[in-house]
Amino acid sequence: MLKQKNILLGVTGGIAAYKAYALTSKLTQSGANVKVVMTSSATKFVSPLTFQALSRNPVYTDTFDEKDPQKIAHIDVADWADIVIIAPATAHILGRLVNGIADDMLSTVLLATTAPVYIAPAMNVNMYKHPAVIHNMKQLEQWGYHFIEPGAGYLACGWIGKGRMEEPESIIEVINNHQKNSNLLAGKRILISAGPTREVLDPVRYFTNRSSGKMGFALAEAAANYGADVTLVTGPVHLQTSNKRIKRIDVISAEEMFQAMHKEFPHNDIVVKSAAVADYRPKIVYDEKMKKKDNGQVEIEMERTKDILASLGENKAHQFLVGFAAETTSPLEYGEKKLTEKNLDAIVVNNVSTEGAGFEGDTNIATYLNKHLEQDEIGLSSKRKVAENVLKLIMRDMKGE
C-alpha cells in the first residue's frame, strides 16, 4: 500500500525519537519516498544526518533555511506529502497543532498540508492522562487526525504505564489498513442527518432534545475520508465541518429536515438518519410570548411530526437506507421493529442508558442490525471509530446484495 507514496515523517523531541530511525528505514524498504522534518528538540535526541542517510533525502529542521529560490520549502513539502506521520508526537506538538501555532518547520507544514495525518504519541503516563492532553487529542481526532495509541509498559522516565510509542511495524500496519479503506466509499454519494430538531412554541420557547449531533458529524467526516461525496443535513448544533467533501445544509425543525432530506434523497446511494427528530411539535405556534397564568397548570397540545425515515423507506428506490434507534429498554427488540416498519436496510441501535453510549458524549456503543437480522456489535469506542465501523458494515452489506 505504501509503495511510491510520499511520506512526510515529523519527528519531535522525546526519547522515543530513536524509534523513528527504524520507522524511516522500514518505510523506505516498503517502497515509500520518505522526507523527515525534525523539531529543534528532536535534534537533541537524534541526528538529522542519520535520517538523511536512511531516507536518502535532505532533512528539514529550519523554516527559514530556503535552499531553492523557486520554492517555499514548507508549502512545497506539505503539498508533496500523500501521508504525514508524527512519530513520536510529544504533548507539546499536540498543543501547538490544536491551537494553530505555526512557529517552526513541522508545525507550519502540519497546518499547510491537506494529506491525512497519523499521530503516534509518546510521553510520560501522567502527561498522557492530563486533561489538557486528552482534550487536545479529542479535538484533533474530531478534526480527522488519526491516532496510533501508545502501548503500556516500562517508560524511559522510570514510570510504568501508557505512553510508550507504538513500535514502527505496528505503526506501518495501522497506516496500511487505513489506506486500504481510504477508497472504501469512492464514487458513492451519502446523505446523513444529524443533531436534534427544534419545535417552536412561541418567539422565546421551543421543544428539543439532548442530541449533540456528534454521531452524525462523525459519520460525515468518516465517510468523506473514505472518499464519499457527503451531504449533511443538520439540526441546530455547536459543531463545525471543515472537510471540503461535505455539503452542509442547516435546518431547524422536523418539517425543514423532512423537506431537505426528500430534496436530496434521489441523488444519493446511501442514507443514514442519525438525527434525533422530534416526534411531536406544539399544535399552535404563538406569534407573541405566552404569558404565565396566575394559577393552575398550562396545557400545550402537541401533534405528531412527519416520520422522515418512514417516508424515505416508502419512497426508496436504489438507496441503502440506515436508521438509528436510541433505546433505554429492549434495544434489539425495538430496533428490529423499526427496521421492518420503516423498510430499512439496516439500523444502528444504542442503549442510551449504558455508560459510554448515546447523547452528548464522545463515545458510543452500538449494535448494527441488517435486514437479514445479522447483528454486529460495535464495542465502546470514540464516535469516530463507531462511524468508521458502521460505514464498513454498510459497504459489506451493499456488496453482498
Active site residues: 157
Residue 192 makes contact with ligand CTP by CB under 6 A: no
Segment contacting ligand CTP by CB under 6 A, of 88-96, 211-219, 271-279, 286-294: 271-279
Q: Cβ closer to ligand CTP: 88 or 335?
A: 335
The single residue among 273, 383, 384, 392 that binds ligand CTP, judged by CB under 6 A, is 273
Residue 267's Cα: distance from chain center in Å? Answer: 24
Q: Which amino acid is at 283?
A: K
Residue 384 makes contact with ligand CTP by CB under 6 A: no
Segment contacting ligand CTP by CB under 6 A, of 29-37, 79-87, 274-282, 389-397: 274-282
The values of phi and psi at residue 369, to 5°, are: -125, 120
Residue 74 makes contact with ligand CTP by CB under 6 A: no
> Both ends of the chain: CA-CA distance in Å?
28
The single residue among 188, 338, 383, 384 that binds ligand CTP, judged by CB under 6 A, is 338
Grid cell 446511494 is found at: 269
Query: Shortest Cβ distance from residue 298 to ligand CTP (Å)?
Result: 24
Q: Cβ closer to ligand CTP: 260 or 309?
A: 309
Element (H, E) at 264: helix 254-264
Residue 349 makes contact with ligand CTP by CB under 6 A: no
Residue 390 makes contact with ligand CTP by CB under 6 A: no
Q: Residue 304's closest CA among 281, 338, 322?
A: 281
Binding mask 275-314 for ligand CTP (x = CB under 6 A): x-x-x-------------------------x-xxx-----
The single residue among 9, 32, 59, 254 that binds ligand CTP, judged by CB under 6 A, is 254
Residue 256 makes contact with ligand CTP by CB under 6 A: no
Q: Cβ closer to ligand CTP: 267 or 337?
A: 337
The values of phi and psi at residue 100, to 5°, are: 70, 25
The single residue among 325, 339, 357, 387 that binds ligand CTP, judged by CB under 6 A, is 325
Distance CA 332, CA 352 (A): 12
Query: Shortest Cβ distance from residue 347 to ligand CTP (Å)?
Result: 8
Distance CA 140, CA 15 (A): 23
Element (H, E) at 108: helix 105-112
The single residue among 323, 331, 335, 358 that binds ligand CTP, judged by CB under 6 A, is 323
Q: Which amino acid is at 328?
A: T
Q: Cβ closer to ligand CTP: 109 or 325?
A: 325
The three-class DSSP label of residue 184 is: coil
Return the C-alpha torsion angle 374, 329, 301, 276, nearest 10. Answer: -50
Strand partners, 7: 34, 83
Q: Cβ closer to ligand CTP: 23 or 308?
A: 308
- CB contact at 8 A, 21 and 51: yes
Q: DSSP letter at 284?
A: S
- CB contact at 8 A, 52 and 22: no
Interface with ligand CTP (CB under 6 A): 254, 273, 275, 277, 279, 305, 307-309, 323-326, 338
